[in-house]
Structure 1
Amino acid sequence: MTASSNTRSEVAAGRDADGVGVRGELVAGVRLVDLLALAAVPVVLGAVFALPEPTRRSLAFAYAEPTVLTAFTAHYVHLEAGHLVGNVVGYGLLAGVGYALAVLAGYRRFFMIAFTTFLAAFPVALSALNLAVPRNAIGFGFSGVNMALFGLLPLLLGVYARERFFPGASIRSLPAVFFPLVGWMALLALPVSPGALDGPGIAGIATAVAGLVLGLLYASSTGIRIRRAIRSGARAAVSNPGEGDLFAIGVALVVGYPIVGFPGDPTGTGSVVNLYVHLLGFCLAFIGPFALLAAGVFEE
């Protein structure tokens, strides 16, 4: 699919207009229909939470008695206010920053199609893949979809950096970020081993190191010079404060959000964080859209 030519031309026009900064470009590229779609998600989540608890529980996904309907609805169900608030805040950060990056990079259409797919298709897919781990429990909550939005964020940072800082850079280098991120999640989430009670277990450390090495090897295979790229990126971000600020926020979110999504102790009051579905959401949302980007489907 081709990125919207209107969006790209408006972004270019915004860059050339005297006195129009990043905020002006963003305002020019935003569409009201997009904002309504983005705002509809917390409204729906709140409306579902307002239902009686027995009704909400009936909409959760029972692994022992799965249905197609509950495979979808479970991802919009929350049983506690704290769970709902946490997911809404995470959604606001991921969707808001992601949308801003997409608009300014000229990839608004890419974002909105991915966003719609995550809302409509990912709930059923994630629930179905959860059946690979048999258990007598129920699944619910929007965090799997949030992790899909998180999986899209490195791709949006990549196209944003290419459009704003590094014209001509290859999209194919983005898996160099994917592998270290998987390693970072493993370091956060894998259980402590008996011999390392005060820190991450061997499995987490090994996976993190493997992810970092794979990322470096992939970057090297695509011709990226890591230190040179970091220095150039830092200079470009500092010399373009508005553009650089948004990029820095996106990078901070990419590094920081896994701490929320992959807690070291996933158990809570009467519930357990589904780390498996979190990882699935991230991986599927990165791999599928990346394949389309690398194939040039969203290029003019």
Structure 2
Amino acid sequence: MTAPPTDERDRAVGAASADRDADRALRRELLASVRAVDLLVLLAVPAVLLAVFALPEPTRRSLAFAYADPTVPTAFAAHYVHLDAGHLAGNVASYCLLAGVGYALAVLGDARRFFLTALATFLLAFPFVLSGLNLAVPRDAIGFGFSGINMALAGLLPLLLGTYARERFAPDASLRALPAVFFALLGWIALLALPLSTTGVGLAGLAVGVAGALLALLYASSAGIRVLATAREGLREIASRPGEGDLFAVGAVLVVAYPVVGFPADPTGAGSVVNLYVHLLGFCLAFIGPFALLAVGAFDE
């Protein structure tokens, strides 16, 4: 028996109205949960980046991290230095996107303290760590820019998606399976970043990409997760929850898409080279350390 067209239209209108109501409810919940002090912390970062960029160019160059002549002050300051407006604009836009989505996931996923602690660590400690580890690759060059810290925020996103999913969709889910996502993302990064051969796809990138996918599957299986069944159930649950599911989808797309920006196939530019090494360090360290703290329950209320 076929329903009359008017009934089908009524159901479609009702579903669309329910979706809009769910979106509005989520926005109201987010706005009610936002704290002014959090916004000040988040907005302080682009303000500092703009203030540093307003300095004379010779001063900014003196703050860059010289690998052949490193100093402690420049190890920190270099990550807030940009020498041209395009580089600055790209990093500010990336920060706003990553920090904004991350903060929304954290607030609605009951992980505000976790996010703010990680953010403070990235802003205050990671510059020293990333600069120090950069010295493992000797070269006569200078390093500068906020992209390493942006990649740290990208590395944190899978964890924020996990806490958000546990809070909103699957309260009994364990975060201990998240390294499977990390391994898969490392494989994806390898496919993006490792050089292409002159005749096709380079074997190194393909091999590491396949290895990452296999490690992800093996880790998930060892954690007792049926990957296909869990993925189907998760997608069904997310699709059935307008608003909440939409935010999760935005975060998931960002997790997959941002490495395309952070790990270009051709890292060379006009007079500069994208530091893929520091990007990888930022991404990996930002996942491994915070995950270890989550796994031992350091942020459980």
Structure 2 residue aligned with 1:97: 101
Q: Distance in 1 between matches of 2:26 and 2:76?
A: 38
Q: Distance in 1 between matches of 2:30 and 2:259?
A: 27
Matched, 1:253 2:254: yes
Structure 2 residue aligned with 1:206: 207
Q: Distance in 1 between matches of 2:228 and 2:300?
A: 28
By how many angstroms is 1:194 displaced? 3.8
Structure 2 residue aligned with 1:15: none
Q: For 2:61, give the aligned amino acid.
A: R
Matched, 1:33 2:37: yes
Following TM superposition, where does structure 1 have runs of at least 4 consecutive aligned residues deviating by more than 3 angstroms? none
Q: Distance in 2 between matches of 1:137 and 1:258?
A: 24
Structure 2 residue aligned with 1:175: 179
Q: Distance in 2 between matches of 1:96 and 1:174?
A: 22
By how many angstroms is 1:234 displaced? 1.2
Matched ranges for 1:224-239 at <5 A: 224-239=225-240
After superposition, the Cα gap between the structure-2 partners of 1:19 and 1:212, relative to the gap in structure 1 and judged at 3 Å, is closer
RMSD: 1.3
After superposition, the Cα gap between the structure-2 partners of 1:194 and 1:295, relative to the gap in structure 1 and judged at 3 Å, is same
Q: Distance in 1 between matches of 2:141 and 2:23?
A: 57
Q: Secondary structure at the match of 2:137?
A: coil
Q: For 1:222, give the aligned amino acid.
A: A
By how many angstroms is 1:193 displaced? 2.2
Cα displacement string for residues 245-287 of structure 1 (whole angstroms, at most 9, x for unaligned residues): 1000000000100000000000000000000000000000000
Match of 2:63 among 49, 59, 64: 59
Q: Distance in 1 between matches of 2:117 and 2:238?
A: 28
Matched ranges for 1:111-260 at <5 A: 111-196=115-200, 200-260=201-261
Structure 1 residue aligned with 2:74: 70
Q: Distance in 1 between matches of 2:70 and 2:136?
A: 12
Cα displacement string for residues 227-249 of structure 1 (whole angstroms, at most 9, x for unaligned residues): 11111111111111000010000
Q: Secondary structure at the match of 2:300?
A: coil
Q: Distance in 2 between matches of 1:27 and 1:86?
A: 27
By how many angstroms is 1:25 displaced? 1.6
By how many angstroms is 1:61 displaced? 0.1
Tell me if structure 1 keeps the 8 A contact 2:23–2:242: no
After superposition, the Cα gap between the structure-2 partners of 1:43 and 1:194, relative to the gap in structure 1 and judged at 3 Å, is same
Q: For 1:114, give the aligned amino acid.
A: A
Tell me if structure 1 keeps the 8 A contact 2:106–2:112: yes
Q: Distance in 1 between matches of 2:101 and 2:135?
A: 32
Q: Distance in 2 between matches of 1:62 and 1:53?
A: 16
By how many angstroms is 1:19 displaced? 11
Q: Distance in 1 between matches of 2:176 and 2:263?
A: 27
Structure 2 residue aligned with 1:289: 290
Larger Rg: 2
Q: Distance in 1 between matches of 2:52 and 2:288?
A: 31
Runs of 5+ consecutive residues of structure 2 not aligned to the other structure: 1-21
Q: Distance in 2 between matches of 1:141 and 1:297?
A: 31
Runs of 5+ consecutive residues of structure 1 not aligned to the other structure: 1-17
Tell me if structure 1 keeps the 8 A contact 2:161–2:248: yes
Q: For 1:270, give the aligned amino acid.
A: G
Q: Distance in 2 between matches of 1:108 and 1:190?
A: 35
Q: For 1:36, give the aligned amino acid.
A: L
